Chains A and B, each alone.
Chain A
Amino acid sequence: MTSKQATVASFVESAPPGELSNVVADIKALASSETQSLEPAFKKYNEEQYTTVKLPGGSETVLVSKYNSLGDTRYFDTASQTSFDVDHASQKASNPQQHPLDSRNADLIRSLQKSFSTATAEHFPASTIGVFPAESDSAIAILLVASKYSPQNFWNGRWRSTYLLDPLSKSLQGTIKVDVHYYEDGNVRMNTTKKVEIGSGASSADAVVREIAKAENKYQEELNRAFTALAEGSFKGLRRQLPVTRQRVEWEKISGYRLGQDVAGGRQR
């Protein structure tokens, strides 16, 4: 990869949710010759962001990830037992074929699919889930992606949950990632990551799914508290709303102050 290819690939990789096409249009205007080399970057983006595609001939949406990759550009879906091709540049699925679920944990995967689907509908107004065999069929990957796009209001957001369940030890661990972009007359990006360890114990699909919902609720509450902590901690410590005198500066009198040294008790820099 040349350094120009690496540069445009990194632009794709860090594109905000819902704005990949804008980023690609900008890349085309800056370096149209480099757009040919973006196929691997698109694939990486789609697999990391759990991009959703509509299954051809149906209405189901399926997410794309490394866990349901069959190699090259082919992926499978456990719920509909189909495999399909994905064109990573256009994010479109094609060429569906039957793909029966082949796993020693097939029953658990199917019940997790059902339970997780019901449980996530309770918390996510819109989301796509995926339950797939993982780690050479020794574990089960439970994935969720929820995106909300509001470009007319200049914001977009995406929540991604990734959990790995070990059916033998019953241990459940995962990561939650939230990415929000606000861009009205500016550019503000929020990124948060949280590793989740739910330990062991949950044996049935329903129990696993309940533990996940509990962990996600707890995390979301902590996140809301963290926003407040930042607002009252480092944000306040940067610039006060008003001087300690509780009054705005009297600019006519400002030359009377001695060059800021004696104001508010003086300060070491």
Chain B
Amino acid sequence: MADPFDAALDLLRRLPPSSTQKNLNGIISLRPELEEDLLSSVDVALTSRRCTKSGRDYLCCDYNRDGDSYRSPWSNEFEPPIEPEDAADLIPHGRVRRMEESLNAGFDVYRELYYEGGISSAYLWALDEGFAGVVLFKKTSSAGGSAGKGGWDSIHVLEVNESATKRSAHYKLTSTVILDLGMSSAAVDSLELAGNLTRQTQQDLPLSGLRDAEVEQGHMINIGRMVEDMETRMRNLLQEVYFGKAKDVVGDLRSIQPLSEAERDRAAHKEAISKMNRG
């Protein structure tokens, strides 16, 4: 019999992505012991909160959560406040917090350039030989009517292993984009395209400079570029899958052109080609 956790992940890959949250809750009700592992492995659309200290929005995920409280990347505080002992463990400081601030500032500019709106957040934590983190983006569009509505959520999980030499580091990136699109018009009562795609990459990238500030800047540059490259690749992939593949499958199910006509066209085409080759 298959492992229940693997079965849960397989099931969530087959059931409608627009009901992932509902189905996740359903699976947890069948197997409560899987709750923690599932919540940290399954990507669902991001929620946001407003940071009361800075007035800015930030995104919520498992990595900035403690119970019902979330840590704002702008103020670096949990809202609602948590126990000081827990805060001491969970709130980053020093080098990790400096890099986290610089990533949030950098991705704030990136977000404006590519998303022209939306919300971004980055959260980092220390590892034994490096650090790890998550970079999040969320954008919704509601042009409405026949132009449709949509939602984009990016979840980038990264792991950075630093070498003793500080000349380079090894970066691992696992990126998921959740994309929901829908429209309704007189001609097409309803069209819904919803889903998520995940890609992974890893690279060794150089770091220049030996002083801490230079190394930290180097990480920010490397991570920024990696995330930008990945998002660009995934955007193209999503376009191909959502609008290319889905459309192709419909074309495979039914042909607008009568099949006998298509067959005659193909035969005539073949005939013409072979005449050209002979002649």
* Interface residue ranges, A against B (CB under 8 Å): 3-4, 7-8, 10-11, 14-16, 19, 22-23, 25-32, 34, 121-125, 146-148, 155, 157-159, 178, 180-183, 185-195, 216-217, 219-231, 233-235, 237-245, 248-249, 251-252, 254-255, 257, 259-260, 263-264, 267, 269
Q: How far is the CA of A12 from the CA of B228 in the complex (A)?
A: 39
Contact check, B141 vs A234: say whether CB atoms are below 8 A apart: yes
Contact check, B188 vs A194: say whether CB atoms are below 8 A apart: yes
Contact check, B197 vs A226: say whether CB atoms are below 8 A apart: no
Contact of A29 among B7, B16, B179 (CB under 8 A): B7
- What chain B residues lie within 8 Å of A180 (beta carbons)? 246, 249-250
CB distance from A123 to the nearest CB of B (A): 5
Q: A192-B191, A194-B189, A223-B188 are in contact. Are A238 and B115 (CB under 8 A)?
A: yes
Closest to A147 in B: B253
Is B270 positioned at the interface, with any CB of A under 8 Å from its CB?
A: no
Q: How far is the CA of A250 from the CA of B44 in the complex (A)?
A: 31
Contact check, A220 vs B246: say whether CB atoms are below 8 A apart: no
Contact of A239 among B115, B195, B225 (CB under 8 A): B115
CB distance from A153 to the nearest CB of B (A): 9
Contact check, A34 vs B150: say whether CB atoms are below 8 A apart: no
CB distance from B41 to the nearest CB of A (A): 14
Contact check, A155 vs B245: say whether CB atoms are below 8 A apart: yes
Please, could you name 17 A-B residue pairs with CB atoms under 8 Å apart, sorted by A? A14-B15, A14-B19, A22-B14, A28-B7, A122-B259, A123-B254, A157-B252, A159-B253, A180-B250, A183-B13, A190-B192, A190-B242, A191-B190, A222-B188, A226-B187, A235-B239, A238-B151
- What chain A residues lie within 8 Å of B247 (beta carbons)? 224, 227
The 7 lowest CB-CB distance pairs between A and B, nearest first, are A188-B195, A233-B147, A186-B197, A29-B7, A234-B150, A243-B113, A222-B187
- What chain B residues lie within 8 Å of A227 (beta carbons)? 191, 243, 246-247
Closest to B104 in A: A259
Q: A125-B255, A157-B249, A229-B147 are in contact. Are A188 and B197 (CB under 8 A)?
A: yes
Contact check, A269 vs B117: say whether CB atoms are below 8 A apart: yes
Is B89 positioned at the interface, with any CB of A under 8 Å from its CB?
A: no
Contact check, B113 vs A238: say whether CB atoms are below 8 A apart: no
Is B181 positioned at the interface, with any CB of A under 8 Å from its CB?
A: yes
Is B82 positioned at the interface, with any CB of A under 8 Å from its CB?
A: no
Q: How far is the CA of A220 from the CA of B114 in the complex (A)?
A: 33
Q: How far is the CA of A269 from the CA of B17 in the complex (A)?
A: 28
Q: A4-B29, A223-B191 are in contact. Are A186 and B196 (CB under 8 A)?
A: yes
Q: A29-B1, A229-B148 are in contact. Are A16 and B225 (CB under 8 A)?
A: no
Chain B facing A: main interface SS = helix
Is B105 positioned at the interface, with any CB of A under 8 Å from its CB?
A: yes
Is B143 positioned at the interface, with any CB of A under 8 Å from its CB?
A: yes
Contact check, A257 vs B152: say whether CB atoms are below 8 A apart: no
- What chain B residues lie within 8 Å of A8 (beta carbons)? 30
Is B97 positioned at the interface, with any CB of A under 8 Å from its CB?
A: no
Q: A29-B4, A157-B249 are in contact. Are A189 and B114 (CB under 8 A)?
A: no
Is B81 positioned at the interface, with any CB of A under 8 Å from its CB?
A: no
Is B136 positioned at the interface, with any CB of A under 8 Å from its CB?
A: no
Contact check, A187 vs B193: say whether CB atoms are below 8 A apart: no
CB distance from A186 to the nearest CB of B (A): 4
Q: How far is the CA of A148 from the CA of B245 in the complex (A)?
A: 13
Contact of A27 among B11, B183, B192, B225 (CB under 8 A): B11
Given contacts A157-B252, A226-B146, A243-B113, 12 further A-B contacts (CB under 8 A): A4-B30, A14-B19, A23-B15, A146-B253, A148-B252, A180-B246, A180-B250, A185-B198, A186-B196, A227-B246, A230-B183, A249-B109
- What chain A residues lie within 8 Å of B252 (beta carbons)? 125, 148, 157
Contact of A254 among B224, B246, B260 (CB under 8 A): B224
Is B3 positioned at the interface, with any CB of A under 8 Å from its CB?
A: yes
- What chain A residues lie within 8 Å of B243 (beta carbons)? 227-228, 230-231, 235
Q: How far is the CA of A23 from the CA of B110 in the complex (A)?
A: 40
Is B66 positioned at the interface, with any CB of A under 8 Å from its CB?
A: no
Closest to B27 in A: A30
Q: How far is the CA of A158 from the CA of B27 in the complex (A)?
A: 26
Contact code string B212-256 (vs A, CB < 8 Å = 1, else 0): 000001001100110010011001101101110111011011111
Contact check, B14 vs A231: say whether CB atoms are below 8 A apart: no
Contact check, B11 vs A23: say whether CB atoms are below 8 A apart: yes
Contact check, A220 vs B250: say whether CB atoms are below 8 A apart: yes
Q: A29-B2, A157-B249 are in contact. Are A267 and B116 (CB under 8 A)?
A: yes
Is B46 positioned at the interface, with any CB of A under 8 Å from its CB?
A: no
- What chain A residues lie within 8 Å of B191 (beta carbons)? 190-192, 223, 226-227, 230
